[in-house]
């Protein structure tokens, strides 16, 4: 299952993710991972969640690079039950809705095959979202 939380900057997406991460840590039996660019969430999420600042790794920040990174995370830890990605466009450096939609569809297949829930935030106007992205709301 892939879920997208979308809205303009300042609409409360990050606060919502913090609440969801902390709830998931308490409710789920497996590991909860949160990927972000920078360290905005560092002091707000429970320390039992694995917080990853993706900018600390020398990888190409793109949709393909992020997908490969997620696959690598999971292949190293099959106990991951939920992955949170905060600010997809910021991490990938690409705000192309069609590429984001294709990424989400690919991630949905990964999620279903492995039983991992994925929650992603996107900073953009909901009304302007591509139909592919909207199906993940």
For the segment 64-117, what is each residue's pLDDT rounded down to a tens digit?
A: 999 999 999 999 999 999 999 999 999 999 999 999 999 999 999 999 999 999
Output phi, psi for 2, to 5 deg: -115, 130
User: Could you tell me what percent of the chain has a pLDDT over 90?
Assistant: 90
CB 95 within 8 A of CB 134: no
CB 65 within 8 A of CB 110: no
Q: Residue 101: which domain range?
A: 2-134
- 52: confidence class by pLDDT, cuts 50, 70, 90: very high
Q: For the chain, what is the domain count?
A: 1
DSSP designation for 95: -
User: Could you tell me what percent of the chain has a pLDDT over 70?
Assistant: 100
Q: What's the pLDDT score for residue 61?
A: 87
Q: Cα–Cα distance between 116 and 118 in angstroms, integer?
A: 6
Whole-model pTM? 0.95
Q: Cα–Cα distance between 38 and 100 in angstroms, integer?
A: 20
Q: What's the pLDDT score for residue 29?
A: 93
CATH number of the domain to which 99 belongs? 3.40.50.300
């Amino acid at each position: 299952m892939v879920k997208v939380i979308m809205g303009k900057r300042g609409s409360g997406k990050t606060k919502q993710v913090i609440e969801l991460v902390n709830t998931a840590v308490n409710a789920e039996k497996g590991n909860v991972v949160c990927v972000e660019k920078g360290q905005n969430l560092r002091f707000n999420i429970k320390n039992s969640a694995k917080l990853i600042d993706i900018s600390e790794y020398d990888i190409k920040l793109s949709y393909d690079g992020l997908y490969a990174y997620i696959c690598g995370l999971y292949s190293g830890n099959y106990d991951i039950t939920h992955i949170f990605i905060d600010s997809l466009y910021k991490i990938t450096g690409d705000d192309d809705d069609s590429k984001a939609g294709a990424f989400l569809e690919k991630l949905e297949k990964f999620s279903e095959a492995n039983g991992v829930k994925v929650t992603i935030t996107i900073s953009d106007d909901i009304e302007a979202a591509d139909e592919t992205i909207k199906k993940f709301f």
